[in-house]
């Protein structure tokens, strides 16, 4: 076993199989079921031609499919590429080309945009479509259907050994120029950004220790409020999944502060992750409005990264 996110997440699933891992809208997945679906998807991607070291774009809104896809890509030692769903054609074309992506898992809504650029991307040969309510035209892209290929994938966890040196790549948003892919070894990401695999205490000294830390953890619930295409949310989700906690997602696009507070109330969220004042101010305003008397008594911490979280807005939230 290695300090590899695929190994570690499988170990957690074995340690706490019946614990709830993910809540997103009406969907609830235990650690066992999340791992089973990710395993089936991993085999489906491999059968479609995704190989070790290949780059796979995740062009998705927040949803269970994003987390399943992320884990599936880890399982086959491929590299997930976060794709900003707000990009226009030229930005998407640049990102997929720069990332050398061979596959993309995408919302149906984005199929027409992908169809417009795919002829300019000779390496991008595999498209897997997550159904949504958009009814977008698929005729030009002809992607594989996410649920169909997942259902046909083997449930056997018969993957080969992995390496802690396998790559994880996070693309920046391009606010300081063109998007750039920042490369991390799995082990470096674990200890540099994911709290050493143990959000409850000291970093892991051996990968096998994660089973005991997850199994012994008290029930905990975290909500990354930002889009998972941004690492602030993606890393929050991974931190708490490695810790055996429940991760709550606000499904779909957009940021609705009232929906976030409803989720905090309904799911008894204890940790809320945001991105600076751009999220904190609307959240504070929602609490201050008439009717904003949400029950936030479960909330222990609001964490922010990636943008300024000003003292004035912190004080407003603390009230």
Phi-psi region of 187 (alpha: psi -120 to 50; beta: other; left: phi over 0): alpha
Q: What 3 state SS string does 291-309 have?
A: CCCCCCCCCCEEEECCCCC
How many whole angstroms separate alpha carbon 130 and alpha carbon 33? 18
Are 254 and 291 contacting, i.e. CB atoms less than 8 angstroms apart? Answer: no
pLDDT at position 282 is 95
What Cα–Cα distance (Å) separates residue 90 from each residue in 106, 188, 283, 297? 17, 32, 33, 45
How many whole angstroms separate alpha carbon 38 and alpha carbon 127? 17
pLDDT, tens digit, 9 for 90 and up, residues 38-84: 999 999 999 999 999 999 999 999 999 999 999 999 999 999 999 99
Are 198 and 213 contacting, i.e. CB atoms less than 8 angstroms apart? Answer: yes
What's the residue count for the chain?
A: 319
Domains of the chain in sequence order: 9-18+31-192 (3.40.50.12780), 196-318 (3.40.50.980)
pLDDT at position 175 is 66
pLDDT at position 174 is 61
Give the residues of the chain that fall short of pLDDT 50.
none
Are 207 and 8 contacting, i.e. CB atoms less than 8 angstroms apart? Answer: yes
Closest CA to 42 of 152, 124, 162, 168: 152
pLDDT, tens digit, 9 for 90 and up, residues 226-250: 999 999 999 999 999 999 999 999 9
Are 79 and 56 contacting, i.e. CB atoms less than 8 angstroms apart? Answer: yes
pLDDT at position 258 is 95
């Amino acid at each position: 076993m290695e300090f590899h996110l695929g190994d570690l997440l499988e170990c957690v699933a074995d340690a706490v199989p019946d614990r709830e891992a993910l809540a997103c809208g009406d969907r609830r997945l235990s650690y066992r079921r999340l791992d089973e679906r990710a395993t089936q998807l991993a085999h489906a991607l491999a059968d479609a031609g995704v190989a070790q070291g290949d780059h796979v774009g995740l062009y998705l809104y927040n949803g269970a499919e994003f987390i399943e896809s992320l884990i599936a890509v880890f399982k086959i030692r491929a590299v997930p590429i976060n794709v900003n769903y707000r990009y226009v054609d030229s930005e998407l074309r640049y990102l997929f080309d720069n990332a050398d992506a061979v596959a993309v898992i995408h919302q149906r809504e984005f199929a027409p945009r992908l169809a417009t650029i795919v002829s300019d991307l000779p390496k991008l040969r595999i498209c897997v479509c997550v159904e949504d309510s958009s009814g977008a035209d698929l005729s030009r892209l002809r992607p594989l259907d996410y649920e169909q290929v997942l259902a046909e994938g083997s449930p056997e966890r018969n993957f080969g050994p992995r390496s802690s040196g396998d790559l994880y790549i996070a693309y920046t948003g391009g606010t300081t120029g063109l998007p750039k892919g920042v490369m991390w070894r799995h082990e470096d990401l674990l200890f540099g950004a994911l709290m050493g695999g143990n959000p409850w205490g000291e970093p892991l000294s051996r990968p096998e220790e994660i089973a005991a830390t997850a199994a012994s953890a008290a029930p905990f619930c975290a909500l990354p409020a930002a889009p998972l295409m941004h690492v602030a949310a993606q890393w929050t989700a991974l931190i708490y999944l490695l810790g055996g906690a429940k991760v709550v997602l606000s499904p779909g696009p957009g940021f609705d502060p009232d929906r976030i507070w409803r989720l905090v109330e309904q799911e008894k969220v204890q940790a809320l992750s945001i991105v600076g004042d751009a999220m904190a101010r609307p959240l504070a305003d929602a609490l201050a409005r008439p009717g904003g008397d949400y029950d936030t008594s479960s909330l222990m911490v609001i964490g922010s990264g990636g943008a300024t979280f000003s003292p004035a807005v912190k004080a407003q939230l603390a009230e």
